[in-house]
Amino acid sequence: MTEGTENLVDSAASADAASRRATVWEQLVRNPSVMFGAIVLGLMVLMALCAPLLDTMDPSSIDPAWRNKNPGVEHLKTFSDGTEREWTYRMGTDTLGRDTYSRVIYGARVSLAVGIVVAVLSLAIGLVIGLVSGYIRWLDTIVMRVMDGLMAIPGILLAIALVSLADAGLVTVILAITIPEIPRVVRLVRSIVLSIREEPYVEAAISVGTRVPLILIRHVLPNTIAPLIVQGTYICASAILVEAILSFLGVGIPPETPTWGNIMAEGRLLFRVYPHNIMFPGIFLAITVLAVNMLGDGLRDTLDPRMRKRL
């Protein structure tokens, strides 16, 4: 093929891709599930980023005189910078007298960060392993054995066990949640690679002597993007839940850090008297996960109609 025709084919392909992208975009905007998920999630992210501006106080500031207050209690509070101001505990306080409202708002930061980082990390690692093992046969057998083994361990259990191996902290928790998610991504990517490598255009690329890394990047990778975005949202939702579960069980991020799971773990003991410490973070957690799941469902229906049947 001469350079001229190659360019021609390339530009035709990209024009086609551009028009398809436009319709996909329109479809996404029209999908109520996507819009609901995206808006709620966007609001949560905004809330997490703007936490200091939302009339919050230091989420770790302890006030022994105002422990276990019900939502709506007001009092004249002296802040650490010496100012005095009428303060309403919108969501009450916990057993150490910390403001639950501020903790819930700041807690969004950890939950969302964990969800997003775990999704990106497991997609990236799974993508690389899946691409390589789908293309290199002898490696495939070994990799898939390892993945089968990992998948035979129930996810939450594996995450709980993994956090016990290192010091509790954000990084440990993220890694512990990421590792059980990887095999599913690897399987997904591998199955795509296996079907794409039989396509005529890949055969054509091989026949003109294109090297394997280039085939993977140019022909296989683009086909994985849509399913991976969908998978990524589901991983994000499950990661947010698992982080909360780990914190709730007391094996996750250290209790000083406000996370939704930690606030609930703290509220467990006095739940019968003061349910607000479990209810408020619980509501935020459920709404966030719901938004991410709905975003995922909507994305799946528009980007990857074939997956619809799979569940």
Tell me which residues touch other proteins (CB under 8 A).
145-146, 148-150, 152-158, 160-165, 237, 241, 244-245, 248-251, 264, 271-272, 275, 278-279, 282, 285-287, 289-290, 293-294, 297, 309, 311
For residue 273, the minimal CB distance to other proteins (Å) is 10
220 versus 299: smaller Cβ distance to other proteins: 299
216 versus 233: smaller Cβ distance to other proteins: 233
What contacts 24+ positions apart, CB below 8 Å, involve 219-222? Answer: 220/131, 220/134, 220/135, 220/192, 220/193, 220/196, 221/131
For residue 309, the minimal CB distance to other proteins (Å) is 7
Centre a 10 Å sphere on the Cβ of residue 183 and count the other Cβ atoms it contains: 24
**Which of 303, 305, 308 has its CA nearest to residue 21?**
303
Whole-angstrom distance, CA of residue 233 vs CA of residue 51: 24
57 versus 233: smaller Cβ distance to other proteins: 233
93 versus 277: smaller Cβ distance to other proteins: 277
For residue 256, the minimal CB distance to other proteins (Å) is 17
For residue 219, the minimal CB distance to other proteins (Å) is 31
Token duo for residue 234: 């589901």
Whole-angstrom distance, CA of residue 264 vs CA of residue 247: 8
Length of the chain: 311
73 versus 286: smaller Cβ distance to other proteins: 286
**Which of 203, 68, 193, 76 has its CA nearest to residue 137?**
193
146 versus 212: smaller Cβ distance to other proteins: 146
206 versus 279: smaller Cβ distance to other proteins: 279
For residue 135, the minimal CB distance to other proteins (Å) is 22
Residue 35 is given by DSSP the state H
For residue 179, the minimal CB distance to other proteins (Å) is 10
Q: Which residues contact 236 (CB under 8 A, 6 or more apart)?
A: 115, 116, 118, 119, 292
Whole-angstrom distance, CA of residue 262 vs CA of residue 114: 14
For residue 282, the minimal CB distance to other proteins (Å) is 4
Centre a 10 Å sphere on the Cβ of residue 305 and count the other Cβ atoms it contains: 10
Give all strands (DSSP E) within the chain, no chain letters: 73-78, 84-89
